[in-house]
Amino acid sequence: MHSSKDTKWTRTSGVTILEVLVVLSIIALIAAVAGPRLIGYLGRAKTDTADLQAEQLRQAVQLFYIDVGRYPSDGEGLAALLASPPGESSWQGPYLETEDAITDPWGRDYVYVAPEEGSDFSVMSFGLDGTRGGTGEDADVGR
């Protein structure tokens, strides 16, 4: 067995600056290649999450409709899924577990538009940029 006292350190022992620079260069190359791909996966994951959450909100709105007999108004919005609208005795909610459920992955509230004559209601997120339209991570999610 060798102990630390038996180790003889010489001028050539250890790691040279050149070896450290080579290892750092390799790590930088790997980060340069893998970094953008990982960021792309993160963006797509947020978009997929927003799409799933918007669908869950649509289902909660349908449950509200079954209980109350109408859809929430634009003024009530998705908050009507969390707390009973004033004077609504047939409300059986809350239809969502937490207030965070009406916030998209980018930290903004989902947009709810009440149905008009001959149209369906919509629940959507405007994506990363928070404005209507766009492509990729900026694209609108939901319907």
The pLDDT tens digits of the residues spanning 103-124 come to: 999 999 999 999 988 789 999 9
Q: What is the pLDDT of residue 45?
A: 85
Segments forming the whole domain that contains residue 110: 17-142
Is pLDDT of 2 > 60?
no
Neighbour-count burial of 61, counting CB atoms closer than 10 A to its CB (0-12 exposed, 13-18 middle, 19+ buried): buried
37 vs 19, higher pLDDT: 19
How high is the pLDDT of residue 3?
59
Assess if residue 3 is contained within a domain. no
Q: Please check whether residue 10 lies inside any domain of the structure.
A: no
Which residues is 113 bridged to in the sheet? 122
Q: How many domains does the chain have?
A: 1
Rounded to 5°, angle at Cα 18 from 13 and 20: 80
Instruction: With H, G, I as helix, E, B as strand and everything else as coil, classify residue 116.
Output: coil
The answer to whether residue 61 sits within a structural domain is: yes
What integer pLDDT is reported at residue 81 of this predicted model?
96
Q: How many CB atoms lie within 10 A of CB 141?
A: 23
The answer as to whether 6 is a domain residue is no
User: Residue 40 is part of a domain; what is its CATH number?
Assistant: 3.30.700.10
* Residue 79 binned pLDDT confidence (cut-offs 50, 70, 90): very high
